[in-house]
Amino acid sequence: MTDQKLQIIPLGGLGEFGMNMTAIRSGGDIIIVDCGMMFPEAELLGVDLVMPDLTYLKEHQAEIRAVILTHGHEDHIGAVPYFLSEIDVPVYGTDFTLALVDRRLEEYELEEESRFIKIKPKQIVEIGPFKIEFIHVTHSIVSSVALAITTPLGVIIHTGDFKVDPTPTDNELFDLHTLAEYGKRGVLLLLSDSTNADRPGYTESERAVRPRMEEIFNRADRRVVVSCFSSSIHRIQLVLDLAQEYGRRVAVTGRSMVAVTVIAHSLGLLDIPDGILLRPQDAMDLPPDKVAILISGTQGEPMSALARVAVDNHKHVSVEKGDTVVLSARIIPGNERAIFRMIDHMSRRGADVLYGTMNPPLHVSGHASVEEMKLVLNLVRPRYFMPIHGEFRQLSKHAHLADHLRFAGLEETFIMESGDILEIDHHGARKAGHVQVGRVCIDSGSVDDVVQEVVIRDRKHLAEDGIVLPVIAINRHTGRMESLPEIVSRGFALAEDGSAFMQSARQIVAKTLESSNQEEKTDWGVMKEKIRADLKRFIVKESSRRPLIMPVILEV
């Protein structure tokens, strides 16, 4: 036992929102907890998805035993197709979580379902030296679990994403009892969700949304259009229940909303009353006061169903004067402009659009607030604590919540960043170096379309300063220019064909060609570099701009 070492290596999700992924290594065995993606920031031009860098895992591929998923949100499962295209190992998760992963694999045209191993809460599985118990937790998506991972050095509790909902709509309570049992027996390390560490008090129960939704259905004279995250099965169930209560039929619209509703219903997680569903193409034919529409696109994604409805470009559904539109989801930071633009469009059509903070609420968080975080800390009473899932300020605040446990056996709290190694042995725990982590940018939704950093740099360059193409026609026999070079530009404000600036630029290119010796003129690569350097010097001097310059030499 004296030479046993345990390493916990977050590969994403610390110091950022999304890309949640943690490697746990004991001896020559590694398990991966979660495998998430994130959506790109505005500066990642043209990038659709961002995946974690798998360099460390590829280097230790032979040691990886399994991927274990805590729940089905994209920031925890979105990178599984990318991961499985590189590393082939079994994937453990609940029925619903694996069904969502399978849907993603189909989109990427990968077939890995045979490697799926379905688990249930309270089940214990053994993977190499690890014994893992799955513990049911409440969250904004159904079938979420925490993990109790027994290792040769002790127990690691990984909460996944959670909140402590005392009145969940499906009556499946957070299994605090099992968590407390592990706490009594002794927990080596707690990894706990920090998302709402800057929010005091308790997170409201999912049931808190019902009074506001009831009021909306009660007073709406025309159609009710509800948009929520497609993974919010509790919210979808609420809309179906209220629609039945108020005599409305429901049209489910949007690719992700339809797909997830079908999956949840097939697994018995969603109860759809008989005769309540309506085809989207029939939604506009019924009396408006008899229709409710469940639609995806809460974040204003350009091609989402709700964004198309907002600009009256959806083939089946439109919003008309007097309709009520409900955005039952939080506004994810960075999406404000797209969402408010969409709300403006619908308001212009005369719809009553409800969104944002209200009391009673339209939406409640799926993450624990400060008091629930303290509850988990007090039940688990770990020897070591490492906050996970959040930006540095949240990790730091969560770490401070554990200060009172210093008298109850907590030896040290580690605020880590993605790539840091937490190493534990019989001497204690410490930060022990760093592994390569980073982001892999994916274009157009295919795991094969990896965007290199240089491409993003060029896109930024083009967006900020434009492009200049000097076009030179050269006689292949004499090596002389046929005419003065032409200069084509896009996104470069000073570039008008007749301007003195452009005439001077053409002269600069001609002068570069004329001053080159015969040997240089026969090497197009050298000539292009000379033209680029001279033209760049001229443009920077005259305009302080740095457009992308790409000389084109034509032989005639």
> For 69-104, what is each residue's pLDDT tens digit?
999 999 999 999 989 988 999 999 999 999 999 998
Mean pLDDT of 156-166: 97
| 320 shares a domain with 267 | yes
What is the distance between the alpha carbons of residues 381 and 470, in angstroms, rounded to a whole number? 68
> Which of residues 454 and 481 earns the better pLDDT score?
481
* Residue 455, domain member (yes or no): no
Coil, strand or helix at 100: helix
Coil, strand or helix at 303: coil
| 243, two tokens | 């629609």
Which of 75, 102, 193, 323 is the catalytic position? 193
| 210 shares a domain with 197 | no
- Which domain, by its residues, includes 271? 206-354
- pLDDT at 534 exceeding the cut of 60: yes
Mean pLDDT of 374-378: 96
| 380 shares a domain with 300 | no
| 338 shares a domain with 268 | yes
Number of helices followed by number of strands (H, E) in the chain: 16, 28
* Residue 173, domain member (yes or no): yes
If 0-12 CB within 10 Å is exposed, 13-18 middle and 19+ buried, where does residue 119 land?
Answer: buried
Which of 71, 158, 367, 389 is the catalytic position? 367
Domain end marker among 327, 354, 381: 354
* Residue 461, domain member (yes or no): no
| 30 shares a domain with 150 | yes
> For 302-317, what is each residue's pLDDT tens digit?
789 999 999 999 999 9
Q: How confident is the model at residue 450 (pLDDT cuts 50, 70, 90)?
A: low
| 185 shares a domain with 49 | yes
Q: How confident is the model at residue 481 (pLDDT cuts 50, 70, 90)?
A: confident
Domain count across the chain: 3
- The least confident of 36-40, 188-192, 202-206 is 36-40
- pLDDT at 169 exceeding the cut of 90: yes
| 532 shares a domain with 442 | no
Count of CB atoms within 10 A of residue 71's CB? Answer: 27
Q: How confident is the model at residue 336 (pLDDT cuts 50, 70, 90)?
A: confident
Clarify whether 3 is annotated catalytic: no
| 13 shares a domain with 131 | yes
* Residue 301, domain member (yes or no): yes
- The least confident of 228-237, 370-379, 406-415 is 406-415
Mean pLDDT of 332-344: 87
Clarify whether 274 is annotated catalytic: no
Domain end marker among 402, 419, 450: 450
Domain end marker among 419, 450, 481: 450
| 30 shares a domain with 101 | yes
| 388 shares a domain with 278 | no
| 417 shares a domain with 283 | no
The closest of 236, 226, 301 to 263, measured between CA atoms, is: 236
- pLDDT at 53 exceeding the cut of 60: yes
* Residue 359, domain member (yes or no): no
CATH number of the domain to which 383 belongs? 3.60.15.10
Mean pLDDT of 376-396: 95
CATH number of the domain to which 471 belongs? 3.10.20.580
- pLDDT at 45 exceeding the cut of 70: no
What is the distance between the alpha carbons of residues 151 and 33, in angstroms, rounded to a whole number? 14
Q: How confident is the model at residue 1 (pLDDT cuts 50, 70, 90)?
A: very low
Strands (E), 395-531: 412-413, 420-425, 428-434, 439-442, 450-451, 467-474, 486-490
* Residue 457, domain member (yes or no): no
pLDDT of residue 454: 56
pLDDT of residue 459: 63
| 268 shares a domain with 153 | no
